[in-house]
Amino acid sequence: MASKETEQKCLRDAIDYLNSQKGIAKTIGLALQGTDVKRTIDERPDFLLHSGDNAGALIAVEHFEVDMMSSISDDKVISFSNMFQKDTKNIFNKWHEKVVNSDKIPDEAIEEVFSSIAERLEKQQMSSYKTFIESFRYSLEKHERKIDDYISNVCKYKQDRFSFSLGFLIEIRTSFHNLVTNNLSKIDTIKNGLSPLFAEVVSMLKRVDATKVSFFVLVFRSSNSTDYYAIAFRSGDKMDEDIIEQHIDVFEYVGEDRWIELYSCIDPKCDTTIERVEDRYDVNFTVSYQSISPETRAALTMHSVYAIQYCKWKKLKYAASHLPYAIEKDCGYLIKSWVIDNNGFAVPIIDPNDKCRFIKKLGDINRTAT
């Protein structure tokens, strides 16, 4: 559960961003600028406000976080971003006074800092689209189960003279690597780790009971920087209308890690060496994947290449990592058509005379990439 300070910062950031938008996003942003309803105890939902644009309405907002850098175990999602924030604060508190009052930084402090960085790198390499989606699903369903409780708590303050709306404020932290997006009119590369809006996320939000939850505000943050942006739309049947009106792109994710569970092969290890050279430290981080064979890597990449081609065939907006995008761009034209197999997968049809050319191009691109 996030601290009150974290919740309030997320709400402030959302309001600041939405105020620069138009249409329904700006309308929701204005409503969120209302004054707090005085409550005798700290209870759910996280915020209860007099609407900023309607004196006769209350706005109830429940905040929760979704962390791509997560671990899924025993039907629970453990967020590592919050753990590392606490770890960083603990290291600072432990060593700050000694560093300030010393001519040199103790070796133990250096080792502790870089060990923490190495652990973060290892966890970040373990994160994937799957951990992001599972974290989103877990957090959303957890809060869906409490919707009636939120409404019951709001009714204590609503009285007959107020209407009220309940919304979810969802804070999303991701660290996608060089994500390439194609919205059918232009191609962009997202380099700061931020997530675009994915079709699977929209699908999950559409299943939330629109008679109880009126709107969603999504705040997308980078795990690696202070970059963020926010979007807002109404629930239920109004969602598609708001997304289209705001020109928000919704992407199918077709990166290699979408199929990682087919192989159960992610097992990164981060080895750290620290060497003191006169007045500086040389630090090397080496991330290795002990259980991913070259054959498995190739299979994951080809799943992504085929999916990109399928999206192009169906005229779907898509997001993929750079390598499969480059492969498809260079030799995707050799794929002539598609069939759907018994498992629902799209399987490419390649002319036998083109297969050797196709494989050779894949090899050339892989060698260039590595």
Q: Mean pLDDT, consecutive 10-residue segments, the chain of 370 residues?
A: 85 96 95 88 87 83 91 70 69 77 76 70 71 91 95 84 89 89 93 92 97 97 89 97 97 87 56 70 65 70 83 92 78 60 58 57 50
Cβ 69 vs Cβ 52: under 8 Å: no
Q: Tell me what pLDDT residue 3 has.
A: 82
Q: Compute and round to an integer the Cα radius of gyration of the chain.
A: 24
Of all residues in the chain, what percent are helix, strand and coil, respectively (each to 5)? 45, 25, 30
Q: What is the pLDDT of residues 295-325, one digit of tens each?
A: 677 777 778 888 888 888 899 999 998 878 8
Residues 6+ apart with CB under 8 A from 5: none
Q: Tell me what pLDDT residue 21 has.
A: 95
Query: At residue 138, what is the residue type?
Result: Y
**Phi (first) and psi of residue 175, to 5 degrees:** -145, 55
Q: What tokens appear for 7 in the block?
A: 């919740």
Between β-strands 318-321 and 163-174, what pairing exists: parallel, antiparallel or unpaired?
unpaired
Q: Is the dihedral of CA 332, 336, 337, 341 positive or negative?
A: negative
Give one DSSP letter per residue of 269-301, joined into a string.
EEEEEEEEETTEEEEEEEEEETT--HHHHHHHH
Cα–Cα nearest to 170, from 193, 195, 199, 192? 195
Q: Tell me what pLDDT residue 95 has.
A: 75
Query: At residue 342, what is the residue type?
Result: N
Q: Tell me what pLDDT residue 365 has.
A: 47
Cα–Cα nearest to 11, from 219, 173, 221? 219
Cβ 309 vs Cβ 345: under 8 Å: no
Q: Tell me what pLDDT residue 369 has.
A: 44
Cβ 51 vs Cβ 43: under 8 Å: no
Cα–Cα nearest to 225, from 195, 193, 177, 180? 193
Query: At residue 62, what is the residue type?
Result: E
Domain ranges (residues) in the chain: 4-68+128-254, 70-126+263-289, 293-369
Q: Tell me what pLDDT residue 33 has.
A: 93
